[in-house]
A and B are shown apart, each in its own frame.
Chain A
């Protein structure tokens, strides 16, 4: 953002390999990268695209089991691949700094924040300890951390995630480096926290004119941060352009498809008849883990063929609500009705038919499928258990189900889950739920562990199945884009309470409850000016945790 046109990093023809099973497999297949002083480059790609590996290589660093097999890395005229270990060490921390994805794991739990902050300046002889501590407090203030004078004297576990991420940015700034590598710094944070961190990172990078490589999988985020964007796919460069150019006019098919993801949207369904019996009705549910109430008087209905999206940040109680409906956590007060019939609260007291009607699809397909069971048996078990089918009939039904989830039966019937990709595993999870022939399916963050294109496919499949089979979904998610594309009605939760509920169209139109408003406004959009506009519109004090604090 303060590009001087002077070259800082130049990587040429980088090939990298990773060691697994005693052989070296390519991770990066010949990528060039240049970065000028004061420029911010966004590096985006799906998981496994090699963006973190490439980012670290820009520091002349490789993780264990990874090597740079070809190419060159020049940093301000220094050949990092030919430099001695001592030379490289003198650069790291001092002129090149790193901000990691998980600040909670990247701060040493045994030392105070300020001690870790001042370590690099003292070790590199840039500042004395007291100078560095003073400077640290100044940086904390600039990054809008609360109590900048005292927060440094805390241990990492005493500070919240969003604050730690900012403290880590301050630590990266401690020697005023020429280059900072940001490796997915906001991925682990909630949306309302993320925006605060984004705003402060952008601000400080601009103030000091630091060059940065910003690694993320989130297009909307990178659009706010970067001057230029480079897109990676499985270790290859797809294309690179100025941010605005890239957003408005992508050249490659892959990039276009990434941009298109968020355009899937279902038509709004007609309003539900007022006298219709809901498939699932949650009535005044209060539930507790131990003695602490985590849900307070939660009520909502889900009608036939409809999708209710339950939205909220981590700890808002959305998954707990699902556990109450399935009967894993019997509520303390209130009841659950299925088709107007009251369900026993504990799943062990429900009969086979009641269990059959409520099915679940999980977030992590890896842990949702037994790794030792073949696909045919995973889907076949509920077919046999509920439907009583065996032998040929069972096989036929399983093949039908595989057909429904668009996986060729002949090819997948005898495979193990480990032989499938993430999206395919999620489809098996869907087929297992369908095999019970339920009325109602709970989808618990089913797309959040998947790459965007794959997630899109899953959403389309779920939408089609709903139309074909008149299914009702409860869709738990923290991602508002997903809500926009699939929901009919929305329930917003915060701290175990339903804050707002209603049809989707109403929800995305003002007026809102203050929290819904904050949540909606915190979701980054694919507009490079979005963050700037938001900040001018709302002011720095009305975003993120600061705004949440004001509410309560």
Chain B
């Protein structure tokens, strides 16, 4: 048991180190931006005093290393700085009507929305994909398997927005079952929220399920060829028991990996899908901020996406270590 703990701690440390380096990469990339933000924000007409005030407010007068650690320290406390959005700097040009919103305030509700979308997707996709994958492996080379192969390949190959529009076409426009826009706001009931989220979730499900199903199928087929499965069959064990007792415990590690990988993939997919459905999530915020070059928001979103990605991969790593009997029961 001791060695497992050691390996897990190593992985954890490695994950944190990666996250740390990634944060440096993100920060450096953003700080490669030339020119002066302050000038860019206020335009050519700004007074030098106003520009200087903003520079100070943003901490642009300090060195990059200091700024990095201030940013990182803030991020660890949940303080991601202030958005560059125009309204935030109204006070500097003599207009006090605007209310300053911090990046954290802006991101928090949208992050919750995105998590909700990802959660609904995972809840539909994971059981569906794993079941289909096991069935395809069990009846491999049958008509079912071939149809599944062709349709999952097609689904993987299609861009998310194609899937999204096809679903809108059939489920929102031609047969108005679900709303095509996901205008989610506070105080909605869970049912309403679910209804508005269903179409983007279905789009993501289609893409992710195909991936997960193919990889589950491959993992199990890989396993079914192993001598101990043949041995189990030669002991006269029923097919269902062969799968459940002999194949599944060993397929756990690859399947967990597949699931984590695809949940991580959701993070990328969510950006496009949120834009299509105007879903108020972090992906949309990210794209909007990219367009107006709102650096603190871009930086923060990037860090959140990367952190989620790294954590999911780390989780998969640790779970597959735990499911390996060779590591759980050392010699």
Contacts and interface: CB of A to CB of B under 8 A. Distances in A.
A–B contact with Cβ pairs below 8 Å: the answer is yes
A107 B238 CA distance: 17
A59 to B, nearest CB: 7
Contacts of B245: 111
A100 interface: yes
A93 interface: yes
A158 B331 contact: yes
Contacts of A352: none
Q: How large is the interface on B (under 10, 10 to 19, 20 to 34, 35 or more residues)?
A: 20 to 34
Given A93-B235, A93-B237, A94-B236, A108 B228 contact: yes
Contact of A91 (B236, B237, B250, B325): B236
Nearest to B235: A93
A157 interface: yes
Interface in A104-124: 105-111, 119-120, 123-124
A108 B230 CA distance: 10
Interface of B is mostly: helix
Given A98-B231, A102-B227, A157-B331, A110 B325 contact: yes
A198 B238 CA distance: 32
Contacts of B72: none
B236 A124 contact: yes
Interface in B201-246: 226-228, 230-238, 241, 245-246
B248 to A, nearest CB: 9
B279 to A, nearest CB: 42
A73 to B, nearest CB: 15
B254 to A, nearest CB: 13
A94 B245 CA distance: 19
Contacts of B331: 157-158
B312 to A, nearest CB: 25
B244 to A, nearest CB: 12
A89 interface: yes
Nearest to A63: B230
Contacts of A108: 228, 231-232, 246, 249-250
A92 interface: yes
Most chain A beta-carbon contacts within 10 A, residue among B230, B235, B249:
B235
B326 A157 contact: yes
A61 interface: yes
A119 B237 contact: yes
A92 B236 contact: yes
B41 to A, nearest CB: 58
B246 A90 contact: no
A515 interface: no
B6 interface: no
A160 B329 CA distance: 15
A155 interface: yes
15 contacts: A63-B230, A89-B237, A92-B235, A92-B236, A97-B235, A100-B230, A105-B227, A107-B231, A108-B228, A108-B246, A110-B246, A110-B249, A119-B237, A120-B235, A155-B325
